[in-house]
Structure 1
């Protein structure tokens, strides 16, 4: 392919309500939107710069700008693995390249990678950190969702979990303290959380300070999120985590995420597929990673006050309207 043109810009998408986790509150999603044009065919990608990993809108745009000439001259997703580190910049470019290649060839990305393209999926619905009664109210509203993800900090842990469980007795539950706990909290609460029917505990300890999990045999399985970015992280996670959470913004795109998924399964890890809060364009490539995942957390668009054209329809924890028209389809068409 010749004559490519790369554009990248910052977009701000308002949320329908504040999103609260242990690190703070956000009222909008700041994303990077990348498009690569080639002979009237366009590929799109989206990513979320994340301060936890030292990223800003400016640094991500700068990284993209550094490789702009190479991308326009012609690079493959594999080339990007060597050219850029894992993160939001590589993710947006990688996904846009896959979208462009699929539309150029008239085949879907799922076909190109020999991956499953589902028609609908169960996703977690996230309950933000709040007073127990407020969290119970949100859980009750979403009690038909098969899976809830409950954000926590160190305060009122059992009161909050009990409130959510009482309000939604049939939903599976993921707890996500976002690195805010200690090993003593985990040991003290493990049995009670298991009794409450908690299914997964996501990244309770800070990345790099999780040695306390080694040889610990929890009743509630523990999932690595911030501790797992790429396939190179897997060896250090053995004997500490039972699951890993794959996110495109951590892996730096679909290319490395596919590799991470394959190697994690080979090494006996259970899978979770997660996301940042963003539009359906961020979620669409991650859909291809969900085959074999026991936990799927792709509710980012559910938080949007508005979404992109051809975006997902998420109701009662079910993702519908999964379409290649948004991303990854095989037709040579422009999307917005």
Structure 2
């Protein structure tokens, strides 16, 4: 029986407003790919990201360009040649993983390793705002063990102090989303070390981060926008201590596994992160993140409405996906 590919655009409301240094949004706009074969359905979700030149329309068009090959039976390995890294390939790749699991009866987790997947502690993200508002967010979530704090503006020192004072028992990741400069990065790093920050994510713009090779790292620094696929890693070895793997950047779980293994070989710590999407997008990432030092898969916690069934969250702990959801 031949395959049938379907592609849908969907929107899920965010609980409130999600703000980073590049702007704000109130909805998570996603593309869902479904591949039907032999009475089984495989699904994958991606989040087009403007920072990388993606739109809902361009991602959908990229999937349509590969439709004939996908419906003719293209494998996940074939996709690595058919489609470039990015959100479009992620949706198709994850749909194929899900389809393989549904068709074979072998869960995706079993293909990734012998150990049963475990529940993981995820970071919870606080949106960028003025220091007082960020302190209020931190206070409301001070019982969570790991907070990811969006910064990247002129008042970051006040923000960092406000958040650490409001959530004194939480480990904190600072995510500048490329918002710092060569003039303030050393001072901000020093303050972060003084306040016990656990990790700093992408302080400087990708391609303008050479100074990170010349200044001390009193807090580990994690590449996000600077790293998409395994081929990016060699150039980052003297600048970053960790990398953030996102399926939408890598272009699917298949490429993300290659990125993970190469990063480990080079000595990087790992974070597995996400765009703001639903449980369908997080599910394969939960399996990828089983041995990561940092997990940031809180997308569904930021939504006013998730898919059903979705991932099971208990506080900041997320359980592996059920077969009904994915894999």
Shorter chain as denominator, the TM-score bin is over 0.9
Rate the CA distance shift 1:244–1:322 in 2: closer, same or farther, 3 A: same
Q: Is the 1:108–1:324 Cα contact (8 Å) retained in structure 2?
A: yes
Q: Greater shift after overlay, 311-320 or 164-173? A: 311-320
Structure 1 distance, partners of 2:156, 2:116, is 37
User: Match of 2:63?
Assistant: 64
Is residue 16 of structure 2 the alignment partner of residue 17 of structure 1? Answer: yes
Gaps (5+ residues) in structure 1? 329-336
User: Match of 1:136?
Assistant: 135
The DSSP-based 3-state class of the residue aligned with 1:163 is helix
User: Match of 1:83?
Assistant: 82
TM-score between both structures, scaled by the size of structure 1: 0.95
User: Match of 1:301?
Assistant: 300
Deviation at 1:166, TM superposition (A): 1.1
User: Match of 2:103?
Assistant: 104
The DSSP-based 3-state class of the residue aligned with 2:64 is helix
User: Match of 1:261?
Assistant: 260
User: Match of 2:243?
Assistant: 244
User: Match of 2:203?
Assistant: 204
Structure 2 distance, partners of 1:132, 1:71, is 49
Structure 2 distance, partners of 1:321, 1:288, is 7
Deviation at 1:162, TM superposition (A): 1.1
User: Match of 1:220?
Assistant: 219
User: Match of 1:118?
Assistant: 117
Deviation at 1:191, TM superposition (A): 1.8
For residues 43-88 of structure 1, the C-alpha deviation after alignment (integer angstroms, 9 at most, x for no partner) is: 0000001110011111111110011111111011000000100001
The DSSP-based 3-state class of the residue aligned with 1:178 is coil
Rate the CA distance shift 1:313–1:30 in 2: closer, same or farther, 3 A: same
User: Match of 1:189?
Assistant: 188
Deviation at 1:322, TM superposition (A): 3.4
Q: Is the 1:150–1:174 Cα contact (8 Å) retained in structure 2?
A: yes
Is residue 31 of structure 2 the alignment partner of residue 32 of structure 1? Answer: yes
TM-score between both structures, scaled by the size of structure 2: 0.97
Deviation at 1:136, TM superposition (A): 1.0
Deviation at 1:114, TM superposition (A): 2.3
User: Match of 1:232?
Assistant: 231
User: Match of 1:292?
Assistant: 291
Is residue 73 of structure 2 the alignment partner of residue 74 of structure 1? Answer: yes
Structure 1 distance, partners of 2:132, 2:181, is 25
Structure 2 distance, partners of 1:164, 1:116, is 37
Structure 1 distance, partners of 2:108, 2:319, is 19
- CA RMSD in angstroms comes to 1.2
Structure 2 distance, partners of 1:77, 1:42, is 16
For residues 241-281 of structure 1, the C-alpha deviation after alignment (integer angstroms, 9 at most, x for no partner) is: 00000000000000000010011011100000000000000
Structure 2 distance, partners of 1:180, 1:72, is 42
Q: Is the 2:174–2:197 Cα contact (8 Å) retained in structure 1?
A: yes
For residues 182-210 of structure 1, the C-alpha deviation after alignment (integer angstroms, 9 at most, x for no partner) is: 12211112222111111111001110111
Structure 1 distance, partners of 2:314, 2:171, is 16
